[in-house]
Structure 1
Amino acid sequence: MTVMTTPLGAMSQRGPSVLWNDSADPSELAESISFGAVGATCNPVIALAAIRADLPRWTARIKELAEELPEATESEIGWKVVEEVSLDAAKLLEPAFERYNGYNGRLSMQTDPRLARSATKLADQAVYFSSLAKNIIVKVPAIETGVAAIEDATYRGVSINVTVSFTVAQAVATGEAIERGLKRREAEGLDTATMGPVVTIMVGRLDDWMKDCFNRAKLAFDPGYLEWAGVAAFKKAYAEFQARGLRARLLSAAFRNTMHWSEFVGGNVVISPPFSWQKRIQNSDLTAEDRMDVPVNPQIVDTLYAQLPEFRQAYDVDGLTPAQFIEFGATRKTLRQFLGADEELDHIVRDILIPAP
């Protein structure tokens, strides 16, 4: 494979930071692979966008599925389409999967957010999704039920991608859950060498929540500091993972600015920009420089910490308990968005199967 010698290509060639594409759209993923991408992610919002981007194809397929599965609900048909979208993308990543022995080359499928209240149902669906292709990695949310599901599914051989995760506390709790699952497998002589778990921090969504809190509290410090909240939390979590010997890699997602790439280069991490951001980075004069170990300006961190209680929750290792993860504002906003995408997919299926008169 030839990797383009541009900012993302340079990062991919120097290692250990790797690029994943934050989209399952096959045309976007193919071009991202030319930039050096060795993985990709999907979630209800991304899957919905991929379906809409090729609606004639998926309209025909939804009609076929309705005939093949005459008793299936709208939701069940919609999720079968999500499976097929994901598997199309997974095929493109098989060469990277073989090259990296399972550490990369994976396509992320996300568990149904409507199952979030049940650790058992999340883990069981994760095992099912993992069985669909050898290079599937499964997203489970960083909430209290998710922590239990993550350990269980990891023990059962699923490579996990933690999602709906914004804080150091969520990252550490889920990273430790993965570690417990890996150790349980190893204690029974089961394989872990070909697994590739990651823990996502949705850095841009944390920034978004800090901006909401800043405005609600009518604060007046430099608003540019808010662009650093996700970066600071990610770097703090990375240091914690290193200190604790956690084997899962951190993954940077939910891009809002180029720092969500440039500040993490040099770390043993996954960087997963949306394709539009990859294009912007590729067309820039930015260079890939090792900055993972460069701390955020202490004045910025101290200001955020002193004036925003929500940043303290996000930044401190013990800022939230697992029971509180679902109460964090960014968690609630994101889960609701994913649930909304589920509902929209149901409506697409309904409009195809029962068109309005």
Structure 2
Amino acid sequence: MNASQALHAAGQSVWYDNIQRGLLDNGELAGMIGREEIRGVTSNPTIFMNAITKSHDYDAGLRPLAKAGRSAEEIFWQLAIADIQTAADLFRPLYHQSGKGDGFVSLEVSPYLAHETDATLAEARQLWQRVDRPNLMVKIPATKAGLPAISAAIAAGINVNVTLIFSRSRYAEVMDAYLQGLEQRAAAGLPLDSISSVASFFVSRVDSKIDARLRDQDAHLRGKAAIANARLAYADFKQVFATERFQALAAQGGRVQRPLWASTGAKNPAYSDVLYVVELVGPQTVNTMPPQTLVALLDHGQVRPASLEEDLDAARQTLAELQALGIVMDAVTDELEDEGVKSFADAFTALLAAVETSRQAAR
């Protein structure tokens, strides 16, 4: 049993935070599925920027689109959707074998729309129709404007990966938005059992932000905040999905919205390269890993089932100590949300600029 299989046995699915046409064409992604190393794929603007700008995988697909007069953004979406469709087809058997619980491939709405509810929902609907795969998840950011779009998308029957969650307070709003979507769907007499959603709670960036604010005398708190934050968020998840409100929806086929641990690559070289994997294991969760983290997990990861539920008192103590130092978690996570939205928008801008350069050259 490899470490990914051990995580699955503990109730956690490994998704791959990476997509590139070369992986689809050379059979590597299919091999990873066959070896039971991954059970889904996530993507974001930065991943596509790296895939398209740092390889020649897309040259052949780009040229005819450029010669047909398509804009840079039209070319990007056509290339990205083709990749997502191919990956979704590779995962389709697992999607059915898992009872529609795994085998998902995520594609994000334009990061330019992060603060526009109606435009986000319109694009989510459009991507759902264009990709036309039941195991697609449309990624919608957990901004204030994103929350009503999440509810409406769920009500419309679209699988949603809610992204850029940093705080427990925003996570509570995300879970409520999901339940509202299911309730709207149930009220309309529509089935709930085909709808899946995950809530992508970002991890390592929290430590990066807080560690930089700690003095030498507070060094014992370094590398602790992100795991504490995630463990308490998992406790929140268990509480919400044990309520009568959700149980009424579950009786109609509603599924839990699984927490997904994102940004799980260790950014500090002083930390274990599997820190944000082995400390965050628990039932009904997902961990989406960048390539280097997955390699590390398969090489030397030691899985502790239910590590998410260890030392909750210590997690509370960590956050209390940070508060005493004047480090307010909600203020930190608000900064991280703003930075995350900007980072994805900047990556999308750089991506479109690179596609435009290639488009001009092809024409």
Q: Shorter-chain TM-score: what band?
A: 0.7 to 0.9
Q: Quick one: which of 321, 328, 339 aligns to 1:303?
A: 321
Q: Quick one: which of 282, 304, 316 aligns to 2:298?
A: 282
* CA contact 1:129–1:136 (8 Å) conserved in 2: no
Q: Which residue of 2 aligns with 1:78?
A: 76
Q: Offset at 1:54? A: 4.1
Are the structure 2 counterparts of residues 42 and 210 from structure 1 closer, same or farther at C-alpha, using a change threshold of 3 Å?
Answer: same
Distance 1:121 1:40 in 2: 25
Alignment of 1:133-282 (within 5 A): 133-212=133-212, 214=213, 219-245=215-241, 247-255=256-264, 256=266, 257-282=273-298
| Runs of 4+ more than 6 Å apart | none
Q: Offset at 1:106? A: 0.7
* CA contact 1:250–1:270 (8 Å) conserved in 2: yes
Q: Offset at 1:43? A: 0.4
Q: Quick one: which of 84, 88, 91 aligns to 2:89?
A: 91
* CA contact 1:103–1:194 (8 Å) conserved in 2: no
Q: Which residue of 2 aligns with 1:129?
A: 127
> Deviation per CA, 1:298-356, whole angstroms, max 9, x where unpaired?
54333223224332556xxxxxxxxxx8xx11112211211111112112222212249
Are the structure 2 counterparts of residues 348 and 221 from structure 1 closer, same or farther at C-alpha, using a change threshold of 3 Å?
Answer: same
* CA contact 1:175–1:248 (8 Å) conserved in 2: yes
Q: Offset at 1:85? A: 2.3
* CA contact 2:163–2:199 (8 Å) conserved in 1: yes
Q: Which residue of 1 aligns with 2:347?
A: 341
Q: TM-score, normalised by structure 2?
A: 0.85
* CA contact 1:207–1:226 (8 Å) conserved in 2: yes
Q: Quick one: which of 346, 352, 360 aligns to 1:354?
A: 360
* CA contact 2:160–2:196 (8 Å) conserved in 1: yes
Are the structure 2 counterparts of residues 192 and 15 from structure 1 closer, same or farther at C-alpha, using a change threshold of 3 Å?
Answer: farther
Distance 1:88 1:235 in 2: 35
Are the structure 2 counterparts of residues 87 and 332 from structure 1 closer, same or farther at C-alpha, using a change threshold of 3 Å?
Answer: same
* CA contact 2:138–2:159 (8 Å) conserved in 1: yes
Q: TM-score, normalised by structure 1?
A: 0.86
Aligned to 2:5, the other structure's residue is in SS state helix
Q: Offset at 1:220? A: 3.4
Aligned to 1:48, the other structure's residue is in SS state helix
Distance 1:333 1:202 in 2: 12
Aligned to 2:16, the other structure's residue is in SS state coil
Are the structure 2 counterparts of residues 85 and 53 from structure 1 closer, same or farther at C-alpha, using a change threshold of 3 Å?
Answer: farther
Q: Offset at 1:141? A: 0.6
Are the structure 2 counterparts of residues 308 and 106 from structure 1 closer, same or farther at C-alpha, using a change threshold of 3 Å?
Answer: farther
Are the structure 2 counterparts of residues 283 and 224 from structure 1 closer, same or farther at C-alpha, using a change threshold of 3 Å?
Answer: farther
How many corresponding residue pairs?
Answer: 332
Q: Which residue of 2 aligns with 1:320?
A: none
* CA contact 1:167–1:313 (8 Å) conserved in 2: no
* CA contact 2:274–2:301 (8 Å) conserved in 1: no
* CA contact 2:281–2:306 (8 Å) conserved in 1: yes
* CA contact 1:8–1:288 (8 Å) conserved in 2: no
Are the structure 2 counterparts of residues 48 and 30 from structure 1 closer, same or farther at C-alpha, using a change threshold of 3 Å?
Answer: farther
Q: Offset at 1:113? A: 0.6
Q: Offset at 1:28? A: 5.6
Distance 2:185 2:232 in 1: 28
Are the structure 2 counterparts of residues 41 and 258 from structure 1 closer, same or farther at C-alpha, using a change threshold of 3 Å?
Answer: same
Q: Quick one: which of 106, 114, 126 aligns to 2:112?
A: 114
Moved more, 231-240 or 104-113: 231-240
Aligned to 1:143, the other structure's residue is in SS state coil
